Amino acid sequence: MCEIVSLSDISVGGGNYGIAASAVSYSDALPTYLRITDINDDGTINFDGLKSVDDTNASRYYLVPNDIVFARTGASTGRNYFYDGTDGNFVYAGFLIRFSIDPKKVNPLYVKYYCQSKTYYDWVTSYNTGSTRGNINAQTLGGMPIHLLPRKQQDDLAITLSALDDKIANNAKINHHLEQMAQAIFTELCNEGGDALLSDILTVCYGKDHKRLGSGEIPCYGSGGIMRYVDESLYNGESVLIPRKGSLNNVLYVNEPFWTVDTMFYTHMTRPNVAKFSYFTVRDLNLAGMNVGSAVPSMTTTVLNALEIVLPSNDNLARFEEIVNPMFLLIQANNTESTHLAAMRDTLLPKLMSGELSVADLGGGK
């Protein structure tokens, strides 16, 4: 039987708003600044593009283990991140609200998973108090009802789902290091060559609307990554995906059949051994600084095609491809495994949360 408690009931000190400070360029000498945009929809951290904060009051806003922060405004209202201390040291920003979960009253990881459940997001939708954009304050969040399973079931749920998340997180860290290694090799082999235009090595194409597509196994990409899975592919080869609107610097590399939405460009290569080279080249160009939009950052084919690049020799391109291709294959394998693990977690979560399944049913009980 579930007990219903509020978030404040199982927290220490109520909800606290983050520091109101500007982000600065990332520095190891400064605290890392955690903003709404650094939190993925699934409650993980996007380590690309992290910033720092340089403020005398920053030490008052460090996260400690068992803290959970919630986005309080904008389209991401309700997005949340549970801090266990393994991702680094973070100072949380002003558009986030922190609650410190009391481990004597609840397994904190149970709260983490509860706040990724459909029950939680249904509640967020019902209490979205903004007019033109979402907004939930600390008092409203503190009153959020949480359906609390008996402690033994909380612990079992946390152990089971954490094992899946730990593997997903480990894959992400491996991939991050592999990309850093590939970036270093790119810098070494591809920093000299002849003058060229981006259009000399690839063709830029428009993505297409995905709403008419059915569900399937083909990934459909937006600027933040995979949005959904569909039943048709738009392109089947190596490609660099470039945002057309919004977060222009979120450049992606894909090497599988895919669809991409109409706010993205996809590309096909017109020369051998240039796909991965193109990925690092475009990613390093700071497309956001070339924005041609007004209210919404925008990119055009004209701007992209005219971008000046340094094109290495054919020998260096082939050498670069030979070295980094195994890295990219491992990244792809890790991403595939993580996708399957995340699907398993998301299937188990509501069943374990509702009591429909127990860990014993999964072979994990005594």
pLDDT tops 90 at residue 129: no
112 occurs within a structural domain: yes
Query: CA-CA distance, 33 to 15, in Å (whole number)?
Result: 19
The predicted-structure confidence for 317-351, as pLDDT tens digits, reads as follows: 999 999 999 999 999 999 999 989 998 998 998 88
For residue 292, the enclosing domain spans 194-311
9 occurs within a structural domain: yes
Of the pLDDT bands very low, low, confident and very high (cuts 50, 70, 90), residue 365 is low
Which amino acid is located at 294 in the chain?
S
* Number of domains the chain is built from: 2
339 occurs within a structural domain: no
351 occurs within a structural domain: no
172 occurs within a structural domain: no
41 occurs within a structural domain: yes
The predicted-structure confidence for 52-108, as pLDDT tens digits, reads as follows: 999 999 999 999 999 999 999 888 899 999 999 988 899 999 999 999 999 999 999
Statement to judge: residues 132 and 202 lie in one domain: no
pLDDT tops 70 at residue 183: yes
Statement to judge: residues 79 and 141 lie in one domain: yes
Query: CA-CA distance, 267 to 240, in Å (whole number)?
Result: 6
Statement to judge: residues 35 and 143 lie in one domain: yes
pLDDT tops 80 at residue 268: yes
Of the pLDDT bands very low, low, confident and very high (cuts 50, 70, 90), residue 293 is low
Of the pLDDT bands very low, low, confident and very high (cuts 50, 70, 90), residue 207 is very high
Statement to judge: residues 134 and 223 lie in one domain: no
pTM passes above 0.85: no
Statement to judge: residues 128 and 23 lie in one domain: yes
340 occurs within a structural domain: no
pLDDT at 174: 95
Statement to judge: residues 64 and 121 lie in one domain: yes
Q: Going by C-beta distance under 8 Å and a sequence separation of 6 or more, which residues neighbour residue 218?
A: 229, 230, 231, 232, 233, 257, 258, 259
CATH number, position 293 = 3.90.220.20
Statement to judge: residues 205 and 144 lie in one domain: no
